Structure 1
């Protein structure tokens, strides 16, 4: 073998070996990104929109939907929201109206759950 070629191989061999060693260790290195957090199953049965809304915005929207409904008297229903959980208190005509009010509240963006404190009238 030519002396120049031997000298060239002798000088590049350690650099190539180091590059291969580094490349191999990078494959087995621990990941630097944290593992993704598991998604929350939510507190309602239906998939919800996860975009955060303020509690005040949620309460305002639920009240607006109740007011626009012909089947519900919003004066008989109190709405409050804490951490995305809407609490409905008051009286409704019957269980069908209760279900309708609950559904209206569930469909508001940012709602994570609805607390049913509604009572059906017995008159």
Structure 2
């Protein structure tokens, strides 16, 4: 259920930007979500639509861009793609991985009027 609070935070960021940049309507929101961010995308879409109803983003379209998980193996120094935090390096089998990408969530772009 943390997707509801994420949706509320997204709307708050959008409304703050609207005050600062003087726009009155949001048409599209492009949101980058890392594969490792533990966000249920369909649940976020649902709560975004609900929370946006009383905001500047009502009737806006939410576009989600998935960012793949990536890590650096501390054992063999290889950059690898991962789908979970507990993955092993496919090159050497080590679990000593440092996540370098895929755990983030950010608003990439807004289409506004």
Larger radius of gyration: 1
Ranked by relative contact order (alpha carbons within 8 Å, sequence separation 6 or more), the top structure is 2
Name the one with the larger helix percent: 1
TM-score calculated relative to the size of structure 1: 0.27
